[in-house]
Amino acid sequence: MKFRVTENENISTVFLNGEIDMDIADNVREVIFPLIDAGKEVHLNLKDVQYMDSSGISVLVESNQRAKEKNTKVELKEVSQPVEKVLAMARKFL
Amino acid sequence: MSTEASDQTNLSEKKDFLVNSASLKDVRSFSREVFEKFKIKKDLREELVLAIAEAAQNIVKHAYKDYPDTQDRMAVRISCTDKELEISFFDKGKPVEKSKVKHRAIDDVKPGGLGTFFIQEIMDSIKFKEGDKPWINNLVLTKKL
């Protein structure tokens, strides 16, 4: 997985790339969680994520919960079609 | 990857993988190759890949929960007729307790069980069987085409 982070005042935008599965999920947590813990508002850009499974959804849910605890927020910005399909299925469940 | 039959009405491909999370991308690659070869509809392929990857992930996470460094292998077999796709998983991990394989209650905000929910959403049937030796578990997923 590749990623880059841009900063604009208190907003960190994380651009993720590739496929997010169980093997990669901890790497994604290591990118996102420190930003949340630092009190940043985190925007996730998933337009270049070609595959995401339940482990990736878990990272999004955990990030959202963690952000609430830190009085900040995580927002999804651009989302690829494959990820949108998985999110739509997950919304029936979550 | 081995081909067990090759006529157009009964195709079957099988491959084994080391049981660990790093193998999941190989499971997906294998599945995509087979669906291309079997000429499965494109809009269905990635859903099926997700279901297969979630089932393989469950083997890594649950059947081998206490053995993260195992050198055991799991096998995935994809078979196809004109009317139905059958995907079988074989592993030698902890026997599946069927009563524990379910997605969690909807009011529980934790994401655990989501993978099983995805499999249920995508596939038409899910059956757990005892595996024939040397296998312990045999999960069979089917989807009408």
Distances (CA, A) of B78 to A85, B25, B28, B83: 23, 16, 12, 14
% of chain B exceeding 90 in pLDDT: 68
More confident position, B131 or B19: B19
pLDDT in tens, A10-52: 999 999 999 999 999 999 999 999 999 999 999 999 999 999 9
Tell me the residue ranges of DSSP E strands in chain A: 2-8, 11-20, 41-52, 74-79
Structural domain boundaries, residue A87: 2-91
CB B6 within 8 A of CB B35: no
- pLDDT for the residue numbered B132: 87
Tell me: pLDDT of B110 over 70.
no
Give chain A's domain count: 1
Mutation site for A-interface testing, chosen from B61, B64, B118, B120 by largest number of A Cβ within 10 Å: B118
Residues of A in contact with B121 (CB under 8 A): 89, 92
Facing A94 at nearest CB: one of B28, B50, B111: B111
CB–CB of B118 and A58 under 8 A? no
What mean pLDDT do residues B105-113 have?
52
Q: Assess whether pLDDT exceeds 50 at residue B106.
A: no
Read off the pLDDT band of A1 (50, 70, 90): confident
Taking the Cβ of residue B62 and every Cβ of chain A, the question of whether any pair is shorter than 8 Å is answered with no
Amino acid at B28: R
Average pLDDT of the segment spanning B36-43 = 92
pLDDT greater at residue B60 or residue A93: B60
Our count of domains for chain B comes to 1
What local confidence, expressed as pLDDT, does residue A64 receive?
95
Give contacts of B117 with chain A, Cβ < 8 Å: 89, 92-93
Is the minimum CB–CB distance between A27 and chain B shorter than 8 Å? no
Please determine, for residue A88, whether its predicted confidence score (pLDDT) is greater than 50.
Answer: yes
The CATH number of whichever domain residue B54 belongs to comes to 3.30.565.10
Instruction: Say how many C-beta atoms besides its own lie within 10 A of residue B52's C-beta.
Output: 26
Q: Give B78-104 pLDDT, tens digit per residue.
A: 999 989 999 999 999 988 877 666 655
Q: Which domain holds residue B80?
A: 2-144
Indicate which CATH number applies to the domain containing A85. 3.30.750.24
Q: How confident is the model at residue B13 (pLDDT cuts 50, 70, 90)?
A: very high
